[in-house]
Amino acid sequence: MAIDAEEVAGATPSSTTRTIHVTVNGTPHRSTIQNRMLLVHYLRERLRLTGTHIGCDTAHCGACTVLVDGVPAKSCNLFAVQMDGRKVQTVEGLEAGGKLHPVQEGFHLEHGLQCGYCTPGMMMASVALLAANPNPTEDEIRRGISGNLCRCTGYVNIVKAIQYASAKMREPAKGGP
């Protein structure tokens, strides 16, 4: 974590650092960070949540997509200081009680990944897509994930994975969580 010098030096407050309060995957954090620290670096290097990937680092590829107050955002294109008072969800927050989220289950069962690099961002975008539109058409799915690139070009199975999750999430509850 060499890049986070303030942390090592004992977090001396200065005009270019700030203390934020942010809830990540339900856990509140208080952190003193450099103003210039990107959200993706905060998640990966400070909180050690390395499920969120850095792909292009230019807000094109979507590998770093997380949910900020439930809305998808490219975490390489936001500063961590902007998260003060907000709730962030990463791919690590999808699983609940040892049970995969239906989107994770869909990507597993429908083989919605090849190399896996885009997968965390792809799944976070999918979760938000289905929250806004529980029963999307294939066209709506493809438009909905158009901010996420799969370099393996495995889109056919990614679409199937999201369709699986859509169907699963619309099933009437069977006493499960």
Partner 1 sequence: MYPPNFEYYAPKSLEEAIGHLDQHQGEAKVLAGGQSLIGMMKLRLAQPAALVDINGIPNLAYIREDSECLCLGALTRTAELGRSDVIRSRYPILADAGAEIADPTVRNWGTVGGNVSHGDPGNDLPACMIALDAQYRVQGPKGVRTVPARQFYQDSFVTALQPNEVLTEIRVPRPVPGTGNAYSKMERKVGDFATAAVAVQVVVGKSGTLDSAAIGLTNVGPTAIFASAASEYLRGKAGNASDLAKAGELAADAAQPIADNRGPVDFRKDMVRVWTRRTVARAIARAKGGK
Closer of 81 and 123 to partner 1 (Cβ): 81
What values do phi and psi take at 15, rounded to 5? -70, -15
Q: Which residues bind partner 1 (CB under 8 A)?
A: 3, 15-16, 18, 34-38, 41, 57-60, 62, 65, 71-74, 76-79, 81-82, 84, 125, 143-144, 146-148
Report the residue count for the chain: 177
Compute the least distance from the CB of residue 98 to partner 1, in Å: 29
Query: H/E element holding 74?
Result: strand 71-74
Closer of 111 and 142 to partner 1 (Cβ): 142
Closer of 29 and 142 to partner 1 (Cβ): 142
Compute the least distance from the CB of residue 132 to partner 1, in Å: 10
Give ∠ CA 106-107-110 in degrees, rounded to 5: 75
Cβ distance 129 to 162 under 8 Å?
yes
Closer of 124 and 165 to partner 1 (Cβ): 124
With b for 16 or more beta-carbon neighbours within 10 A and e for fewer, the 112-137 pattern comes to: bbeeebbbbbbbbbbbbbbeeeeebe
Distance CA 117, CA 168 (A): 25
Compute the least distance from the CB of residue 92 to partner 1, in Å: 19
Closer of 100 and 121 to partner 1 (Cβ): 121
- Longest CA span, the chain: 54
